[in-house]
Amino acid sequence: MGFADRLWQEYFKRIYQPHLERFVDFVESRLLKSFDNLEQEAQSRADEAWEEWGSSAGADANPGDGAADAEAAGANYYFSMIAIRQTFLNLSAVGLYHAWEQQIIEFMRKQVLPLKNQNDANLMNLSQFKKMAVEENIDVESFESWPKVDTLRILFNAIKHAEGSSAADLKGKRPDLFIAPGLAKSDFIKEYSPPVYSPLSGLDIYVTIAVLRDYCGALNKFWDELAVAMERLFSDRMREQHPE
């Protein structure tokens, strides 16, 4: 048991890293693709609303009122779906971090923890993982990937909990994530820092597919760096057991 194991290094490459990459690939190639025709869908909703108005309007009805109602129906649908699209992107950041965290815990339970502790829920957390790694001279917080991994953790918490300490921390680290797409060039928006109310309704925090790919790359770099550290530890143990 422990970190000096070569089999897990291969497992990281064959199982953990491809899973995270496929997760983001699915979000981009399938999930987001379902929102590609929003303008046409919104126009269809407007047309349906216009037809409904026409079928129920009286002889004295004002066609301008019907046209305004139809336009509003289309616009409401469009902006609602844009918010839902953003909701799924924000949820994808939560899912990506959770997937990596669960990989960490699986690795702990199956390899790092003593057999008697493998079902101890109190040990199933990132803090315990870092502590046990340090005991074997592996400081994961010194990895090049760690700053981004930790920022993803903060993003994860900000999306789940909305306004609070995590949202405040994230504003210091990634203020760009609080600017809605299309408004990034506005100096006023850059200086405006509204409360975070509804990131799971597609508001206030704005994850993009590029952001997801960037954080996925950081998580996979973490596994690469951990594999290197484990190989070094394994080699050191072998030299101790079989000195020349």
- pLDDT for 187 equals 55
- pLDDT for 185 equals 54
More confident residue, 181 or 36: 36
pLDDT digits (tens, 9 = 90+) for 113-148: 887 888 888 888 999 999 999 999 999 999 999 999
Say yes or no to pLDDT of 184 above 70.
no
Side-chain half-sphere exposure of 215, counting CA atoms within 13 A: 27
Q: Is residue 180 within a helix (H) or strand (E), and if so which, with residue range?
A: none
Global pTM? 0.89
- pLDDT for 56 equals 79
Say yes or no to pLDDT of 4 above 90.
no
The sign one gets for the Cα dihedral 79, 81, 86, 91 is: positive
- pLDDT for 47 equals 87
State the DSSP string of 100-147. Answer: HHHHHHHHIIIIIS-GGGTT-GGG-SHHHHHHHHHHTT--GGGSTTHH
Say yes or no to pLDDT of 80 above 60.
yes
What is the rounded average pLDDT of the residues 181-194?
A: 61
Contact 153, 97 (CB under 8 A): yes
The tokens for 14 are 């064959």
